[in-house]
Amino acid sequence: MDPITALLEKVLIEIGPHDSGEPASYIPELAESDPNLLAFGVVGPRGRVMTVGDDGAEFTIQSMSKPFVLALALHTFGREAVFARVGAEPSGEPFNAISLEAGTGRPANPMVNAGAIATTSLIPGADIDERTAAIVAMMSAFAGRSLWIDESVYASESATGDRNRALAHLLKSYGIVEGSVHDAVETYFRQCSVLVTVRDLAVMAATLAFGGRNPVTRERVVSERVARDVTSIMASCGMYDFSGEWMLRVGLPAKSGVSGGVMAVAPSQFGVAAFSPRLDAHGNSVRAQAIVAMLSDRFGMHLLEPHESIAAPGISVQESAAGPVVRLGGELGFAGAERVLSMLREIVTAAPNAAVITVDAAELARSHPAAVMVLQTEIDSMAPRVRLLQ
């Protein structure tokens, strides 16, 4: 067994015995799920998928669909049009609360049901099937395989979904939902009934973690900006009225679903997903949360953990016949540019007058335009002694 899977197995053994909480009962089909199922997985930058436990178990995506429908809405209409209909503020209320802004009726955010129904209602399509197909296609691109719907969970949710219908009617009365309330709600129920495994969810989370590019298929699914917007909303609102505490303790943008899944995004590091059907009072899986919390702690994934590399690009200096060549590698951010400039000044001072100093930025994995601009300006001021290769 490889060392990372061995670490995951250890977490599984530690979390396994926890048996508090109950599967969701308000959707009859979900109450039938085996409460003992337990699985989780991670996907790293090179698209390696590592899963442990009952990783073949399929479950419905439920509220973990919400980030992907938000991604589709942002991809289709852009940020301003979407956030004119739905807010970006944590509601501090349960997932099914009537969290609407006084006066406008705008739902608090796209992660609570009211906001998710509003977001779903934006997705274009002639009927429920067409809209659902667009949503499932987007989710499938995130997962890297064709996903489909569990019709019995959909039927069960539609038969008992009066609270969501009431929310949708309220949204219609404020003009937030336009068109058919029935179509908006049924499309929402269908998106919640898409079947996934922890592997799928971990790949979906990883696609967000790696800026909208699926690390397994290498397909660009959404732009970096859309991925960042979705992840930002998950960070502030993904765990409902536990979102603030979650950020404090776990520090990862995440989204839970009443089927018992939790997926989390460690930007540029990992996509994470865990599944266990027993839920706490917030409707979040007890063991899935505990697993993500433990992984965040053990793998150092808290978002606000300090990192050196962004401020310290790789710098190596080689001598050539013309003069020193300063090669940059890794990531050049704004803070890193400052470090490069001070090194460069030292090199220029030390080099003989006739030497031409070359700064070779061609091998940078990533650079921020502001950092490049600062570097370029400084190098221009030192011309012709210093030149930049990009």
- Which residues of the shown chain bind ligand GLN in the complex (CB under 6 A)? 62-63, 95-96, 113, 157, 164, 192, 257-258, 283
Nearer to ligand GLN by C-beta: 23 or 215? 23
Smallest distance, Å, CB 131 to ligand GLN? 16
Nearer to ligand GLN by C-beta: 95 or 242? 95
In angstroms, the CA 213 to CA 267 distance is: 12
Smallest distance, Å, CB 299 to ligand GLN? 26
In angstroms, the CA 377 to CA 336 distance is: 15
In angstroms, the CA 271 to CA 339 distance is: 31
Q: Which residues pair with 316 in a beta bridge?
A: 327
Smallest distance, Å, CB 258 to ligand GLN? 4
In angstroms, the CA 287 to CA 20 distance is: 9
Nearest to 259 by CA among 48, 58, 1: 58
Smallest distance, Å, CB 348 to ligand GLN? 59
Smallest distance, Å, CB 192 to ligand GLN? 4
In angstroms, the CA 117 to CA 177 distance is: 8
Nearer to ligand GLN by C-beta: 96 or 269? 96
Q: Which tokens in the block code for residue 300?
A: 């150092």
CB atoms within 10 A of CB 9: 13
Nearer to ligand GLN by C-beta: 50 or 116? 116
| Chain residue whose CB lies nearest ligand GLN | 63
Which segments of 176-291 are extended strands (E)? 195-196, 254-256, 261-266, 270-275
Which segments of 98-239 are extended strands (E)? 195-196
Classify 307 as helix, strand or coil.
coil
CB atoms within 10 A of CB 121: 25
Pairing of strands 261-266, 254-256: antiparallel
Nearer to ligand GLN by C-beta: 86 or 216? 86
Classify 40 as helix, strand or coil.
strand
Smallest distance, Å, CB 23 to ligand GLN? 12
Nearest to 92 by CA among 220, 274, 237: 237
Which residues are known catalytic residues? 63, 66, 188, 240, 258
Locate tokens 């397909």: which residue? 219
Nearer to ligand GLN by C-beta: 63 or 296? 63
